[in-house]
Amino acid sequence: MGCFCLKKLGHKPGYEAPINLASETPFTVNEVEALYDLFKKLSSSIIDDGLIHKEEFQLALFKNSNKQNLFADRIFDLFDIKHNGVIEFGEFVRSLSVFHPNAPEADKIAFLFRLYDLRQTGCIEAEELKEMVTALLCENNMSLSEDVVDLIVEKTMMEADTKRDGKIDDEEWKEFVKKNPSIIKIMTLSDLKELTLAFPSFVMNSGVSDLQQPVKN
């Protein structure tokens, strides 16, 4: 059934076999297939070319393809492992795997560090933190004076930058996250656990048959 469908449709460039992706990630083959379903939806929302473009990503996150957002940009850049301006299916699955509830915490911490290290200097500078706080405030229409922003940043730097050199290095970051575990909550998507239930339509396309398939819809 499903095999036939998939083969007939063919795959867009950048497609990778679920079985390979499942072997490198915490996902099962079925889950990778469910992700493919999601990927297809996301990558075809504007241009149906099997690749997620920045606008499509923004559309998915904000329901608005023109919405610029510093953090969405950073996530996009990190997902775009090959740095070619688009997210391919393999990149999508590998990057999302860090968000899996069973993914190692160290990976989540490291991913977030890279995300916040805006200029990729290997450290999160106070300046970068300020930029991010300002972006967040702006996103939420909160206009705080620069003094207050400085104060917020300074307070956090006091706590995080234990070496007092004006930047947070990898080691300080790990310590800080341990003390403030709520920071990495966003690195876990519970949705990734019930993928096959969330995207039951994969069952129809599945290239692999499982004995127990969810009988939903």
Q: How far is the CB of 53 from another protein (least distance, A)?
A: 14
Least distance from another protein to the Cβ atom of residue 113, Å:
11
Rg of the chain's alpha carbons, rounded to an integer?
20
82/155 with CB nearer another protein: 155
User: CB-wise, 75 or 208, nearer to another protein?
Assistant: 75
Nearer to another protein, 4 or 166 (CB): 166
Distance in angstroms (rounded) separating the CA atoms of residues 93 and 210: 21
Q: Report if residue 72 touches another protein, rule: CB under 8 A.
A: yes
Q: Find the binding residues for another protein in span 156-215 (CB under 8 A).
A: 156, 158-160, 162, 174-176, 178-183, 185-186, 189-191, 198-199
Task: With beta carbons less than 8 A apart as the criterion, state whether 190 and 101 touch.
Answer: yes
Task: At 95, list the tokens.
Answer: 């990057």
Read out DSSP for 62-79? Answer: HS-TT---HHHHHHHHHH
By three-state DSSP, how is residue 119 classified? coil
Closer to another protein by Cβ: residue 8 or 185: 185
Asked if 81 touches another protein (CB under 8 A), the answer is no
Spell 129-143 as b/e; 16+ CB within 10 A means b. Answer: bbbbbbbeeeeeeee
Q: Is 116 in the site for another protein (CB under 8 A)?
A: yes
Query: CA 113, 116, 121: angle at the middle one, nearest 5?
Result: 80
Nearest distance from residue 67's CB to another protein, in Å?
9
Give the residue ranges of DSSP H helices in 10-69: 18-24, 29-43, 54-62
CA atoms of 21 and 24, how far apart (whole Å):
5
Residue 117's CB is within 10 A of a number of other CB atoms, namely 20
Please tell me whether residue 129 binds another protein under the rule CB under 8 A: yes
For another protein, the closer of residues 3 and 136 by Cβ is: 136
Q: Does 120 bind another protein (CB under 8 A)?
A: no
Q: Which is nearer to another protein, 7 or 214 (CB)?
A: 214
Residues at the contact surface with another protein, assessed by CB under 8 A: 38, 42, 60-63, 69-75, 96, 99, 105, 116, 129, 132-133, 135-136, 139-144, 147-148, 151-156, 158-160, 162, 174-176, 178-183, 185-186, 189-191, 198-199
